[in-house]
Structure 1
Amino acid sequence: MATWPTYARLIVAGYGEEADYGVLRSEMDNGIAKQRARYSTPIVTRDATVIVMSLAEKNALDAWIAADLSGGAAWFTWTEPLTGNSVQARLVSGKWKWGEPQGAVWQATCQIETLGR
């Protein structure tokens, strides 16, 4: 399994996290609606901003996504930034968006999902 490159750093600005237990909700004819979780382990989706410090690192990250992640579809080992836990993760829908570079610094936005935290 591929491992997230150390040169690609997650920044705090724009970071967001959402846990989804797949809760099913059924409205009742009378009284309060019933709810139940479909998953015992949540799918956690994180809005992430990643920076690299040069065009060479940008090109290396693009090549890593294309080759090692099969265009973003495959799982990779990633260190979750808040807990420091090593988890299996993938890019949501394989989507990755580069913004305009600020000098030599390139910034990309994506969503990263994991099973559990």
Structure 2
Amino acid sequence: MAALPAYVDVLLDGYSEEFDSGVIKSEMERGLSKYRVGQSRVVMTVAVNLAFESADDGNSFDDWYFNQIKRIGWFDWLDPRTNARRSVRFKDGALGQLQPMSGGFGLSKRSATLEYLR
């Protein structure tokens, strides 16, 4: 299986996690609603900023994204919060904007949202 390349740094700035609870709510005629678990596993989404230390690293990442995982493939990623290795993919196969952080794209970042089943 592919892995997020070692030259890609995950910035903690902009890092956030959320999930869909997978709970089904049934309205009652009287009293409180009833809840039940609708799915045993939930989809976790993780918003990250990926940093590249050179223009070559940014170009290599584009090559990895388009040719190795083909935009929708699964890859291994080291979760910085738990230090657990997870099998993730880019949500909707999409990446965010590439933003230069220095002249000539010597340092740049790109936003992305990862998803996995918990």
Relative to the length of structure 2, the TM-score reads 0.90
In the TM superposition, structure 1's runs of 4+ consecutive aligned residues that sit over 3 Å from their partners are none
1:4 positional shift? 0.8
1:10 & 1:40 partners in 2: Cα distance? 29
1:77 & 1:100 partners in 2: Cα distance? 24
SS at match of 2:100: coil
1:42 positional shift? 2.3
Instruction: Show the 5 A alignment for 1:1-117.
Output: 1-71=1-71, 73-103=72-102, 104-116=106-118
1:78 & 1:41 partners in 2: Cα distance? 19
2:21 & 2:39 partners in 1: Cα distance? 5
1:13 positional shift? 0.9
- Identity in percent: 29
1:64 positional shift? 0.5
1:49 & 1:111 partners in 2: Cα distance? 9
1:3 & 1:64 partners in 2: Cα distance? 10
1:62 & 1:42 partners in 2: Cα distance? 29
For residues 52-91 of structure 1, the C-alpha deviation after alignment (integer angstroms, 9 at most, x for no partner) is 11110001111101111112x1111111111111111000
1:18 & 1:100 partners in 2: Cα distance? 24
Asked if structure 2 preserves the Cα contact closer than 8 Å seen for 1:21 and 1:41, the reply is: no
Asked if structure 2 preserves the Cα contact closer than 8 Å seen for 1:2 and 1:76, the reply is: yes
User: Alpha carbon RMSD of aligned pairs, Å?
Assistant: 1.2
**Letter aligned with residue 89 of structure 1:** V
Gapped regions of structure 1 (runs ≥ 5):
none
Asked if structure 1 preserves the Cα contact closer than 8 Å seen for 2:99 and 2:110, the reply is: no
